[in-house]
Amino acid sequence: MEHETLGQIFIITVLSSNFVLAMFLGLCPFLGVSGKLETAVPMGIATSFVMLVASLCSYALNQLLTHFDLEFLRLIAYIAVIASAVQLVEMVMKKFSPALFRALGIYLPLITTNCAVLGVALFQTARDYDLAQSVAFSLGGGVGFSLALILMAGVRERLNLSNLPSVMHGTALSLMLAGLLSLAFMGFGGIGVAR
């Protein structure tokens, strides 16, 4: 596989290969937390941090497992590392920002079941990225996820005041919005790909 530079990987993952809008990862929190801007931003940051930690740890784990020919334990190992990373983030947040901790509520431990976090680990393994590329990939994933979340929150906040048939409100509406956002992001197609 041709070598992709770090900048390329980052830009492609944020824009044209956006985790939420193009790869369908992280939809549960995307639809659940994007109702308000003030919860969307910390959620994005928390998830990005967990993604970075998960990426680093799974890279190290993968090297270890491959060395001992234990690839079949990969999934269990990855999910264990992610659960621990989320615990860590919860503890840190509880200590430094209890208000935020309460605002995020149940969604914080749910980062464990966020497809985007496990997705980072799985995709970087499948694409055989080295350490630097994995970091660029997870950073891109986090920024892309947060970007999609913030955009969605901004639009939904405004839609709350609009005149839509009541049957539309809720997940159906969020999905339509996500579809429009996804369509818009398709305009970034080809960005960052080598000439």
2 is an interface residue for another protein by CB under 8 A: yes
Q: How many residues bind another protein (CB under 8 A)?
A: 52
Q: For 24, which DSSP code?
A: -
User: Among residues 64, 73, 131, 132, which is the contact residue for another protein, using CB under 8 A?
Assistant: 73
Distance CA 113, CA 118 (A): 8
172 is an interface residue for another protein by CB under 8 A: yes
Distance CA 50, CA 47 (A): 5
Using the structure block, give the residue that is written with the tokens 């509406």.
Answer: 173
User: Among residues 35, 41, 56, 113, which is the contact residue for another protein, using CB under 8 A?
Assistant: 113
Distance CA 158, CA 151 (A): 11
Calculate the alpha carbon distances from 101 to 42, 90, 94, 185 in Å.
9, 8, 6, 31
User: Among residues 7, 154, 170, 187, which is the contact residue for another protein, using CB under 8 A?
Assistant: 170
Half-sphere exposure of 119 (CA within 13 A, CB side): 24
Q: How far is the CB of 8 from another protein (least distance, A)?
A: 8
180 is an interface residue for another protein by CB under 8 A: yes
Binding mask 17-56 for another protein (x = CB under 8 A): x---xxxxxxxx--x-------------------------
Query: ∠138-141-142 over CA atoms, to 5°?
Result: 90
68 is an interface residue for another protein by CB under 8 A: no
Q: Which of 1, 124, 4 is nearest to 52 (CA)?
A: 124
Distance CA 142, CA 158 (A): 25
183 is an interface residue for another protein by CB under 8 A: yes
User: Among residues 98, 105, 179, 187, which is the contact residue for another protein, using CB under 8 A?
Assistant: 179
Calculate the alpha carbon distances from 188 to 29, 54, 116 in Å.
24, 27, 20
126 is an interface residue for another protein by CB under 8 A: yes
By C-beta, is 3 or 96 nearer to another protein? 3
Applying CB under 8 A, which residues contact another protein? 1-2, 4, 12, 17, 21-28, 31, 72-73, 75-76, 79-80, 83, 112-115, 118-119, 122-123, 126-127, 166-168, 170-176, 178-180, 182-183, 186, 189-190, 193-195
